[in-house]
Structure 1
């Protein structure tokens, strides 16, 4: 890989001449570092044949130094490659269109559907492919009108229409029913096998490809429980996926760490609240619980000493606290306060706030609960805003996919983040 990058770099140098433009010397050290980093990234993308990305990065290089010959040549080469790819893609699509027409002429509807799907997978709005798709369905429905509703032919045609629209489970069901009626029809077994393979591929794409993206967004949003759940599903589908295993271990580690941190914070809030109310026995339980998790916690040691000085001594039973443990599930606790804690530990701010609100409605004077609610709201807002702003940066750079991921992450944290909602709605509207 590195040899190939060097080769590409030398290739550009042969055309452009060695060295930087005269403008390079006027750049400050930080700009030079950014310039070189972008140039390396552009070459790497070019070598990986991601010419669209390489084009975008070379453009950013030229924003720093508009006269850089290497970037100018790189931009030109990317344009040529993109044009070559476009022409090649159009040629393949034309060939596929002819295959669709031939399959329609032969009344090989499943084959026609496969060719149409192949075209639309690369060009979802391909006008002629969409027209042919409608034509195929119309022709099949016309044939359906000539057969009995209870006949195997009707089921076969139904299955083809389902298959045409990528509704594979329904296609499989229809074809299997037809198989039962005409077991000698060999084609049906082939159709079922095709549909099952495509269904499995679609599930794999949903769970593995999209799941990996969602897990990444969840991890960035510090919603580690969600990331763990998604990564476990990936490993169920792809047991040998080493990358998913590494990410799972990382997410589980962060989840455990966050659970401990959140639990310590909760114990601190309760311990302090009870201490201020002069409920020293109850307060002692929480400070001792903190020390059982973090034995060197100076704050907890200090409060234990203060309480002991008031004549309240440590008690083994003080370790038994009526609060939710880090591994608890929201459904396992009945007290809204405890439920709020569990949800907070999982990074589910909105659910945590709702449960806490229920608790406060019954305990409106609970100072610790009110303070905790304000703290959660502040943390929720800050984290959501962080991802929202990242999305703006990506969007300004033309990275729409990354922007969407960041805004979705913001809404995972705060479903009511109006700006993120507005921007996502706008992008979806543009896509339609």
Structure 2
């Protein structure tokens, strides 16, 4: 229990520092880069995140394997971790090479908007650097999984806290005199990476017995590593398309200045989403644990209380953005913000729907219905792309937010309908006694 509390506290501190880094960095980058180059920065951050759509995260599988083995140095565990490390290195190296190749292939025939053409070298170099850095981070999930399995994940957060603090200091002291898009992209998006690298070194130092060159390429193990996290990968893909795709795509087509307000709002939603996930992720684990114990009354009370708290907070946040969004953003950015009423309404609704969507997805995960959740998320992504394109052409940035509201609203209704059929969780949404026997 002590290790869990320490890890949760450290993770919370990391998220807070990451949010502070963005709250300080975004207006500073806008002031130092200017509106056009700042818009290009937002487009770069969006495009570079697309590499995550093909990421196969192995950390969760490794954590489960290490945690379930009584002896961390057993032959199976050593072979499993060693194979996972090499396989992750190969997969993410190939991911980087393929993503970079496709990016330059696309640039070879795609017409470039004026701002992108004027900053082509910095645009291309920054995206390649971000591709490499994110591929490296995906590889480092192997080492995060080892410490998670040993219930020592607070070590990762300790290194990341130092890394975020260093990034914040560099942002305040060095970036103002040496502003560049590449510099800003790294500080705003990858302030944690140096900490993750040093954490990996620390994991290897403490767990030398887990790594060996004498392992076999067992197809069964490879299949376990690549397929066990497939449903979570699909969910991440669906959310990534909805929340990260539009700024880069439409900014590349119509120019960075056409998506500045959208890009800023989505950066804020990213910070907001991290707080929501910090709330819903442990909730899914708690629901799974209590469902396994068939503690019906406790599950219903916990889910209802958590839902009320999350929904209340999101409604307050949505109403605050609707009423005070323009003056707060203008004061924060020290620049006039021009967003229409539809943008405010759609953004406010997205704040509420986003929280509700993550909440229901967490319940489905806790109920071991992850396959259905992944299907809903991928259908949302497929529906979002053409809808966002049509609404962007008709309503510009506000149309993209409206498209997000529509697909997330439909997905929320689908998950709600699925959960209402669950023998226990269905009681959360029904006017029935929490102490009724399980059907």
TM-score w.r.t. structure 1 length? Answer: 0.26
- Between 1 and 2, higher relative CO (CA 8 Å, sep ≥ 6) is seen in 2
Which protein is bigger by CA-based radius of gyration? 1
